[in-house]
Amino acid sequence: MAAAKKRLLNISIYTVLILGILIIIVPMVIVLINAFKSNMEIAESYFSLPTGFYTKNFEQLFEKNDIFYSFRNSVVITVVSLLVTTILLPITAYGACRHMVHNRWFRYLYYFLIIGLFVPFQAKMIPLIIIASRLNLMNVAGIIVVYIASSTCEGVFLCGGYLQSIPPDMEEAAYIDGSGYFGTYWRIIFPLMKPIVVTVAIQNALWIWNDFMLPLLMLNKSSKFWTLILYVYNFKTAYQTDYGAIFASFLLSMLPIMVFYIIMQRKIVGGLISGAVKG
């Protein structure tokens, strides 16, 4: 009886996992095969394989420089935001969490950041856009500032929770050996925080690269500020019947972040193993 229940449970689990995989994979496959099909082939069937290697959809995209500018904007926004948050969030969490027991101001700072997790974007959207507009931040530089600020609360919370698993004795030993505060953080604490730092980086990269609402609100006033997601949105609006080019633009917007995720996923597994050995 117990074996039958366990077998039924395993079947249920694998069924759910397979359905989840299909939900994720099928749209990606549809985009991939339709990006290399003519409009006539797409009209006949979305699910059929292309009869040949049709590249005119991509040629049409690359004929205009708008997609290069949009790709550059997406890369700049994502890379700069990730670099700043990767440096800022762990050290902010380290300073707040290690000193909040003895210093109330650090405790207030940590609680203030945690409260930010419970404020939905819809509640701060209008004030945020008004302030950004008055400060002339409705551009690429402005949205980078907004992304860094928006990722601070959750990033500090995650890094602070991970810091609880790192014993303070390691830092005390480093101080006894003559290491300074920042030297101890950079040489001992930060390497041990690699798994959570990579996790936060992956999460922020997926969010920033694929985000639509903030770019729509802050960057849509001029095509020179468009991100790749905004370009796809406006391209679809302007060329409603050119489905081949639309699918090609979808594919181009998906590929960079998929490659980044695959690379960083290996890093996070390696970081977890490294952290276990050091522990």
Contact criterion met (CB below 8 Å) for 143 and 229: no
Question: Domain 56-278 class?
Answer: mainly alpha
Neighbours of 148 (CB within 10 A): 20
Our CA angle for 49, 35, 265, nearest 5°, is 100
Q: Which residues contact 205 (CB under 8 A, 6 or more apart)?
A: 78, 82, 257, 260, 261, 264
Question: Is pLDDT of 130 > 80?
Answer: yes
Q: What is the mean pLDDT of residues 83-94?
A: 92
Contact criterion met (CB below 8 Å) for 144 and 80: yes
- High-pLDDT (> 70) share of the chain, %: 92
When pLDDT is cut at 50, 70 and 90, the band that residue 268 belongs to is: low
Q: What is the mean pLDDT of residues 153-167?
A: 87
Report the distance separating Cα 236 and Cα 244, nearest Å: 11
The closest of 101, 196, 206 to 156, measured between CA atoms, is 196
The more confidently predicted of residues 116 and 83 is: 83
Report the distance separating Cα 195 and Cα 79, nearest Å: 19
- High-pLDDT (> 90) share of the chain, %: 20
Our CA angle for 6, 8, 12, nearest 5°, is 115
Mean pLDDT of the chain: 83
- The domain limits of the chain are 56-278
Our CA angle for 136, 90, 177, nearest 5°, is 135
Alpha helices (H) in 137-242, listed in sequence order: 140-163, 169-176, 181-184, 190-192, 194-210, 213-218, 228-238
The more confidently predicted of residues 269 and 26 is: 26
Residues 177-204: pLDDT tens digits?
Answer: 777 878 888 888 888 888 889 888 888 9
Main-chain phi, psi angles of 205, to 5 degrees: -65, -45
